[in-house]
């Protein structure tokens, strides 16, 4: 059985070879994440808008059959390309002029692809390069560039010449699969794309059954290959490789690095190990802050923080209905935290610092607040190893006793809730976001408390190295 190779397969392969294989043979049921479905909806709406605009304002025509490479039309819409077992659906192809020699020019089409996002992703560039590759089969030379139309209507012209080699290598693998249906699926390698992948649940289950190395959050394919060469294929096996460093009188200060072998040991023994004690200290008043935003729009719509004073906690939040209100909530937040001038602002990860720096630059106020920020993960990374697979706030927080009301609570799901609120105005989605933000703040506080407890009771609470 031979199947056609499509842009979906090529883009899927750029995320994960196993995903492309499962898409190709369709042997595993798909369970799309709400966010992936949301992007598809936005893409469909954007495609409709773009198509109508082209037909109303240009001389574009709708494709009525195979593309004529001789190109007697400036723009052709809804083009289906087919060549040598490769298929590609272009939202449009545009006529471009390409200089081939001094005083001469060569005419060619360039592909146009409509996206459902506000920023261009690398996987989208690979998909666009695949369209260019198939187009090149028909017109006997590949286009040097193509265009991605983003959700806000912005058209980004992207040079493709450096991506064609990558596309060719992917196509070669996919062709081998289509010609031999007895091929086994590539091994499970969990990565950052997994949360939005339609095959995330069966892959997660298989990884857990195998005790797969990629279950560890910071395990990369390159590092996995290195361990496989040593005969190490499971997290349990990896745990036996850990060896404590020798202590010397003059111990040089080494850069902080995450030790995967020690992480595996922590999981096997169900103990917390300390490489270096955290430097957090208790304050009479502490603030725990969390920001919700839409990364590909660069828009921050919810800033929440927990004020902890003498054992009592109170939650404060600032909500923006739209971009025009972003400056207002930023100023309101600054005014609120100014009431606690000596209190540190604890946050988890780099997102909040990046958000505050962007907002301060955007609105010209609040530059000094960055000096009060304390990233709690800096006291964990490479220093403290809890028996968890990931040091993400959800994984570590739940281990320490934190809880999130929505079982699907995540940054990805928050994007879905915000979009649904923007589309419907339904209070349930706004309430879900406030609850999620507050529970993130409470989870952060719990992690900070655990770190301070470790520091205060190191000899009793943990196993020192």
The tens digit of pLDDT for each residue in 30-55 reads 999 999 999 999 999 999 999 999 99
CA 14, distance to chain mean position in Å, is 14
Among 84, 429, 464, 394, smallest CA distance to 247 is for 464
Residues 12, 144 share a domain: yes
CATH label of the domain that carries residue 102: 3.90.320.10
Residues 313, 169 share a domain: no
pLDDT in tens, 151-183: 999 999 999 999 999 999 999 999 999 988 778
Residues 296, 155 share a domain: no
Residue 377 covered by a domain: yes
Residues 174, 289 share a domain: no
* Position 191 pLDDT exceeds 60: yes
Strand duo 299-309 + 155-159: pairing: unpaired
- Of the pLDDT bands very low, low, confident and very high (cuts 50, 70, 90), residue 248 is low
**Amino acid 61: pLDDT:** 86
Residue finishing a domain among 154, 179, 204: 179
Q: State how far the Cα of 112 lies from the Cα of 149, in Å rounded to an integer.
A: 7
CB atoms within 10 A of CB 219: 22
Residues 170, 291 share a domain: no
- Full strand arrangement of the beta sheet holding 155-159: 61-62, 75-83, 86-101, 104-114, 145-149, 155-159
Average pLDDT over residues 56-79: 80
Residue 215 covered by a domain: no
Residue 436 covered by a domain: yes
Residue 214 covered by a domain: no
**Amino acid 311: pLDDT:** 81
Average pLDDT over residues 323-348: 96
Q: Structural domain of residue 372, as residue ranges? A: 285-464
Residue 195 covered by a domain: no
Residues 429, 293 share a domain: yes
**Amino acid 103: pLDDT:** 43
Q: Is the full-model pTM beyond 0.75?
A: yes
Average pLDDT over residues 336-344: 94
- The mean-pLDDT minimum among 92-106, 126-140, 391-405 falls in 92-106
Residue finishing a domain among 179, 211, 230: 179
Q: State how far the Cα of 84 lies from the Cα of 163, in Å rounded to an integer.
A: 20
* Position 70 pLDDT exceeds 70: no
Strand duo 463-464 + 273-274: pairing: parallel
Residues 313, 174 share a domain: no
- The mean-pLDDT minimum among 60-69, 242-251, 367-376 falls in 242-251
Residue 61 covered by a domain: yes
Among 281, 299, 31, smallest CA distance to 151 is for 299
Residue 376 covered by a domain: yes
Residues 304, 155 share a domain: no
Q: What's the domain count of the chain?
A: 2
CB atoms within 10 A of CB 322: 9
Residues 305, 165 share a domain: no
- Of the pLDDT bands very low, low, confident and very high (cuts 50, 70, 90), residue 60 is confident
Average pLDDT over residues 360-382: 94
pLDDT in tens, 4-33: 899 999 999 999 999 999 999 988 889 999
Residues 295, 174 share a domain: no
Residue 211 covered by a domain: no
Residue finishing a domain among 145, 179, 213: 179
């Amino acid at each position: 059985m031979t199947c056609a190779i499509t842009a979906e397969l090529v883009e899927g392969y750029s995320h994960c070879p196993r995903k492309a294989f499962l898409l190709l043979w369709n042997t595993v049921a798909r369970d799309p994440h709400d966010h992936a479905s949301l992007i598809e909806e936005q893409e469909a709406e954007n495609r409709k808008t773009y198509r109508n605009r082209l037909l109303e304002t240009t001389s574009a025509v709708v494709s009525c059959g195979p593309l004529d490479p001789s190109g007697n039309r400036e723009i052709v819409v809804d083009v289906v390309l087919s060549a040598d077992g490769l298929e590609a659906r272009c939202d449009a192809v545009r006529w471009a002029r390409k200089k081939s020699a001094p005083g001469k020019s060569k005419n060619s089409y360039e592909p146009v692809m409509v996206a459902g996002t506000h920023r261009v992703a690398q996987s989208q560039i690979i998909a666009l390069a695949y369209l260019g590759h198939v187009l090149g089969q028909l017109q006997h030379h590949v286009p040097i560039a193509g265009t991605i139309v983003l959700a806000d209507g912005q058209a980004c012209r992207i040079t493709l010449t450096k991506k064609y080699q990558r596309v060719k290598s992917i196509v070669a693998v996919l062709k081998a699969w289509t010609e031999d249906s007895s091929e086994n699926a590539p091994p499970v390698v969990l990565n950052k794309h997994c949360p939005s992948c339609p095959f995330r649940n069966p892959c997660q289950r298989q990884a857990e059954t195998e005790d797969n190395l990629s279950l560890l959050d910071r395990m990369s394919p390159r590092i996995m290959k290195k361990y496989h060469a040593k005969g190490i294929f499971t997290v349990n096996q990896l745990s036996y490789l850990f060896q404590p460093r020798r202590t010397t009188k003059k111990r040089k200060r080494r850069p902080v690095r995450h030790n995967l072998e020690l992480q595996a040991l922590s999981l096997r023994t169900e103990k917390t190990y300390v490489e270096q004690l955290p430097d957090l200290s208790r304050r009479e008043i502490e603030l725990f802050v969390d920001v919700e935003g839409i990364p590909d729009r660069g828009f921050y719509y919810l800033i929440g923080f927990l004020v902890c004073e003498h054992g009592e906690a109170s939650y404060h939040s600032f909500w923006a209905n739209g971009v025009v209100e972003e400056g207002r909530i930023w100023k309101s937040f600054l005014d609120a935290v100014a009431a606690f001038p000596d209190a540190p602002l604890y946050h988890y990860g780099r997102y909040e610092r990046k958000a505050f720096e962007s907002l301060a630059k955007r609105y010209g106020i609040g530059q000094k607040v960055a000096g009060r920020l304390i990233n709690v993960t800096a006291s964990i990374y490479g220093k403290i190893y809890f028996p968890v697979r990931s040091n993400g706030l959800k994984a570590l927080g739940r281990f320490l006793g934190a809880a999130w009301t929505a079982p699907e609570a995540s940054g990805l799901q928050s994007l879905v809730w915000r979009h649904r609120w923007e589309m419907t105005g339904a209070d349930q989605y706004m309430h879900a976001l406030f609850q999620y933000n507050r529970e993130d703040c409470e989870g952060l506080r719990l992690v900070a408390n655990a770190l301070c407890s470790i520091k205060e009771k190191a000899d009793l609470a943990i196993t020192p190295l």
